[in-house]
Amino acid sequence: MSENQNEPREYDAVRGGQNLIPANAAVLGGIPGVKSRLASPIIEVRIAALSEALKYGEAGLDLIMQALQHDESIQVKFTVCSLLKDRNEEKIKQHLRNYFEFDVITVDAEGKENSRIKSFAHYFPEDLGNGVVLEMVYIPGGTFMMGSPATESGRMSCESPQHQVTVPTFYVGKYPITQAQWQTVMRNNPSRFKGKKRPVESVNWHDAVEFCRKLSEKTGKIYRLLSEAEWEYACRAGTTTPFYFGETITTDLANYNGNYPFGGEPKGLNRAQTMDVGSFPPNPFGLYDMHGELCEWCSDKWHINYDGAPTDGSSWETGTHDYRIKRGGSLYRNAFYCRTAFRNYDYAGDLLLMVGFRVAVALAVPSSLSSL
């Protein structure tokens, strides 16, 4: 053993992720140290361990790929993708092929962009045939506050009481269901604004449920509408502001009636028609068009507030009526109606012009991850 007091000593080793490291102590090194730090509850410690793991060849790469598979943190997954995206090993390319990169944008109170950062999300492609693919994005489970806080401008009584909900992991459509996807499954197209990449609209709640039934038969997976809690959790993507972009929104960021802005931003465009899905920036989960474009059907029945609402992310099905939840605002509505917390309803059998939907599926980890 070395007598040099500046060199680490074997009995000084401490577990990675410990907040306080004794003076003259050494952090546990090698693969055991990396494993220890990757198990830390502190995200920053796990992220630092990922970079260190690259020093240890195949054994380190295996740890990095295990983190990609098992760590729920979006920051950790982003770090893994950033570290490995330029590597050419076939093993790595295979496991990263179902990750997509995107920019996460935020704006200030006047609607001016104040940040733009890169992120990644995992998805799996569902082949519907005829070259039509449905992309389903991984949404990590978590707990959030559903509804609007008392301080939110224009909040409505139906958005209260704000309450804690825990949502299990699930997958959700990267975009609203498109006309091409609907045509492939349902063999018709009811939409007013035609376009294969535009979202399907003019569908009632029962139509959307029937699409899910036929899609499930076609794929062997159980597709369904999102519950209202899942929808808000997916839309917020960890944010707490009225919009996932921040305190306000602009028509550069979403498709709504820009003659009626929200907050301090100026008036914008009134396009008066749908756009191709993905025409506007996504939220931090990598989901597009959650604000504006179309209202989206959820599975839940309507209730006038959240008193007695489920706290496990499930659909709220009590009641004898058949009024169903809609979320997200639409191209004809004011910016106010595009808020993450805003909720509305219509009769399930009504054929509504600017209403569409996206689908969810609870699914085991895809083979691209489970083989790691």
H helices of the chain, where? 30-38, 43-53, 57-70, 74-84, 90-96, 179-186, 205-219, 228-236, 367-370
Residues 205, 218: one domain? yes
Residues 222, 328: one domain? yes
Instruction: Render pLDDT for 154-170 as a digit per residue (tens, 0 to 9).
Output: 899 999 999 999 999 99
User: Tokens 């691209």 — which residue?
Assistant: 368
Residues 81, 139: one domain? no
Residues 207, 91: one domain? no
Residues 161, 304: one domain? yes
Residues 230, 363: one domain? yes
Separation between Cα atoms, residue 301 and residue 303, nearest integer Å? 7
In a domain, 203, yes or no: yes
In a domain, 104, yes or no: yes
Residue 134 is which amino acid?
A: L
* Beta pairing, strands 295-301 & 355-356: parallel
Residues 64, 106: one domain? no
Residues 294, 150: one domain? yes
CATH number at residue 230: 3.90.1580.10
Residues 83, 176: one domain? no
Separation between Cα atoms, residue 66 and residue 323, nearest integer Å? 44
Instruction: Render pLDDT for 285-301 as a digit per residue (tens, 0 to 9).
Output: 999 999 999 999 999 99
- Domain end, chosen from 73, 97, 121, is at 97
12-21, 36-45, 78-87, 350-359, range with the lowest pLDDT: 12-21
- What are the residues whose beta carbons fall under 8 Å from the beta carbon of 308, sequence distance 6 or more? 318
Q: Which domain holds residue 358?
A: 100-367
The answer to whether the CB of 121 falls within 8 A of the CB of 285 is: yes
The pair of three-digit structure tokens given for residue 98, joined into one six-digit string: 């179902």
Name the 3-class secondary structure at 197: coil
Residues 210, 74: one domain? no
Separation between Cα atoms, residue 323 and residue 288, nearest integer Å? 26
- Domain end, chosen from 80, 97, 114, is at 97
What pLDDT was estimated at residue 75? 83
Instruction: Render pLDDT for 305-316 as a digit per residue (tens, 0 to 9).
Output: 999 999 999 999
Residues 232, 324: one domain? yes
In a domain, 4, yes or no: no
Domain count, the chain: 2
Separation between Cα atoms, residue 65 and residue 163, nearest integer Å? 36
In a domain, 3, yes or no: no
Residues 256, 361: one domain? yes
